[in-house]
Structure 1
């Protein structure tokens, strides 16, 4: 008789990479939609008489929408299922992407960007939950962390698309913003063939459907990972109960400390590059795209190290190194340093920032049980996007009133706080099953969950 194995013990296969494609599309769209507004604003501001406040509103509208999308979408993901929510938010994203082309004024555009953000925010908890629930435990960190790399692909792509579309002229911003409809449509078609999560089905008492999916994908003699087979009610407040509150706070805080500087710098990086003295018409947008592609390449070693060294060192030290890089950039910002010097520091900052950013997908999806995984990730997404929206809204005002050096000092200081916070709070979940990771330091036992596997094996 063949040995019975769990889904988390299965080796990497084509199916896992297919699920990675479905899931990473969320990060790509997030990066693309947020990035393209940075280039579009350079054209929009020449056609509309906009104050700094209105500029900030347009820059942050998507993030504001993501607050509501994460908060509501995460809960609905746990309530009605991963696949159904995956398709609903794609349809919303497609329609709104096209409608941006026809916006008549900044207010109308800001409203559309908020709605677009709601759909993007809802996609986050779905994508991470699905990838985590299908991943082998030995590769889960790399797969979840790899999703974050697609954010940089999307972000860099937006600057490349924006750079080439600038030649269209006054209407180029319309084409830029509507261009997100293309990847959204392709992802919608691809997701029609994806399966529902067996772990979610089992948590809702639908064991037969869950087992049918497992057998279809992995074959016979493969069972559910150690998870309760009885129906579990999804309650929003459970993310603060039964030991989950500690991890809800941990994820929300470290994620916010990473994103606040990242979105502020990322949204206005063409202007920052220009203030360093390296501007030549459209070249700052091309430079921004190149920087983000380098960040992507720099992430690849960390996808290996997160499984080799673990979660803690690959989040703690990137916070520290990114903070030091920004402190040095701030200290030398008025000294007319060489392009190579400034570029190298931005590369160091970006690579290590990307390394800690991959934990935005790893920790939230490992530290919570299946029946509230989407809710917890959605709540954390909402909190972090609210913080990011505030920083992105205030960034141009801070930059204008306090100067580049002080702005970089503030960003570096936030990263340093993140270094101290993760040093004392970050848990290690390397090589743990989802059941083990979601029970860590909660004072709970694995008896109920483990009994499912024991019954199946025996």
Structure 2
């Protein structure tokens, strides 16, 4: 639905505070998923981990994200963004604290899975809440900032891991994990007092609460009739269900969001989780120096997001995602040369991949929030996350095996192939949503053209179950 006072509001202190509060979760996600790659070095020595154990630990959180996104996106649409917003962070704190005391491989795997569930829940919670509060013309950029926070968290994890390893050696892996518990607690405190989404409140018939939330956050008064009209515009009161994501036009959108997301993060997650190992395979940064190299690459991922944040709201979502995927494949093909690739070229290729990946990266959470109505917005975001994690978990689990059996060159070429699939999916299915309200972007496409009495062209909406094109 579309509430005019929200869509047209100027950015103020509330929007900035909400953006930072929502970004806290993705920051933690990047930190938690990357710190394990650093701590695995010391953990492996102390717990006598095999290659299979390391792969299982690396993939456990991603499997948890699959479950968390699939289940808790729908729960968020039922219970509300605000309630789930706090619960999942409390789980992150608890899982991180318990991980410090793990003495067996199975304990680490289970706790990483639990942390992953909480991370998977946070993606649709934070992104849907922010999307439903921010003005149209700033939505792409502000949602992209959440992704930026993810990479900052990943870079911070490698820097912290590097410093801790230098000071205390490999035995400090427990303190590395403990650092994530402290950060989780701080973000939890920062989120206290975050208001519920007015769109979700109206969708549930709580117009009075929606009016109060808007008045408190924006200092503006909205009539009950305006809120009901906004709901009718999007037809949210129809209350879409989970199964609607797999029918008609919504099926295409679900597949698009999940598949491009998967193709973008499968090589990226493998790179960030096993960054030191991959760089070591190229003969670069063995030992703790590999953590510093991984931190540098993570920083470049951040830098790649910055121009993309401006481009998605200026030139549009579709051209950004199509061209970015095409350019991302090139450095991975070059790295297919394996260990024979010169040192300078390896670094240049990793940096180029990181820079070009900014486009799809900032759209990972933008597209799911724009292409689906309020009643299933968080559900759709969760499903897209879950689809993406199928590839990410498989890639993370198989990467060490691929490195040992196929070699670094073949592994990089596989990554290039996955990236090209993402390009094809974007060419076929990417829609343009720049500058439009959530009501417009989530509406089903028009089927036929008619003429109004005034001679203006009108469109007849596609019925709910019909499969439409872009």
**Class of the TM-score when normalised by the shorter of the 2 chains:** over 0.9
Alignment of 1:242-257 (within 5 A): 243-257=249-263
**Does residue 354 of the first structure (1) align with residue 361 of the second (2)?**
no
Q: Could you say if the C-alpha distance between residues 185 and 232 of structure 1 is closer, same or farther in structure 2, counting changes exceeding 3 Å?
A: farther
Aligned partner (choices 233, 245, 256) of residue 239 of structure 1: 245
For the pair 1:273 / 2:272, whether they are aligned, the reply is no
2:421 & 2:39 partners in 1: Cα distance?
Answer: 33
User: Equivalences for 1:365-404 in 2 at 5 Å?
Assistant: 365-404=369-408
SS at 2:406 equivalent? helix
- Take 2:82 and 2:191, find their aligned partners in 1: how far apart are those partners? 8
Equivalent residue runs for 1:267-416 within 5 Å: 267-331=273-337, 333-339=338-344, 341-416=345-420
Aligned ranges 1:4-403 → 2 under 5 Å: 5-166=4-165, 167-222=167-222, 224=227, 226-228=230-232, 231-233=237-239, 235-241=241-247, 243-331=249-337, 333-339=338-344, 341-403=345-407
* Superposed displacement of residue 334, structure 1: 3.1
C-alpha displacement of 1:253: 1.0
Distance 1:92 1:446, change over 3 A: farther
Q: Distance in 2 between matches of 1:182 and 1:44?
A: 20
Q: Give CA deviations for 1:311-336 in whole Å, capped at 9, x if unaligned.
A: 011111111111011101212x3325
The answer to which of 108-117 and 296-305 deviates more is: 296-305
8 Å Cα contact 1:436/1:446 also seen in 2: no
Structure 1 residues 169-178 or 249-258, which shifts more? 169-178
1:345-390, Cα deviation, whole Å (9 max, x unpaired): 1111001113211111110010000010011111111121122111
Q: Distance in 2 between matches of 1:216 and 1:200?
A: 16
Q: Contact conserved, 1:204 with 1:230, CA < 8 A, in 2?
A: no
Deviation (angstroms), 1:281:
3.2
Post-superposition Cα deviations, 1:262-296, rounded to whole Å, max 9, x if no partner, equal 11122112112112222253111011112211221
Partner of 1:456: none
Deviating more after overlay: 375-384 vs 118-127: 375-384
Distance 1:32 1:230, change over 3 A: closer
Aligned equivalents of 2:354, 2:316: Cα separation in 1? 21
The DSSP-based 3-state class of the residue aligned with 2:435 is: coil
How far has the Cα of 1:183 moved from its partner?
Answer: 1.7
Please give the per-residue CA displacement for 1:81-107, whole angstroms capped at 9, x wherever unaligned. Answer: 001001111111111110011101111
CA apart distance, 1:446 = 9.8
Offset at 1:238? 2.3
Query: How far is 1:302 from its partner?
Result: 1.1
Structure 1, 307-316 or 223-232: larger mean CA deviation: 223-232
TM-score under structure 1 normalisation? 0.92
Over aligned residue pairs, what C-alpha RMSD do you find? 2.0
Q: CA deviation at 1:177?
A: 1.3
> 5+ residue gaps in structure 1?
449-458
User: CA offset at residue 221 of structure 1?
Assistant: 4.9
SS where residue 312 of structure 1 aligns? helix
Cα contact 2:236–2:374 (8 A) shared by 1: no
For residues 180 and 355 of structure 1, the distance between their equivalents in structure 2, rounded to whole angstroms, comes to 28
Deviations 1:395-438 (A, max 9, x none): 10011100111100010111112112201210000011000000
Q: CA distance change for structure 1 residues 446 and 54 in 2, over 3 Å: closer, same or farther?
A: farther
TM-superposition CA deviations, 1:6-27 (whole Å, max 9, x none): 2111111111111111211121
Aligned partners of 2:339 and 2:384: how far apart in 1?
37
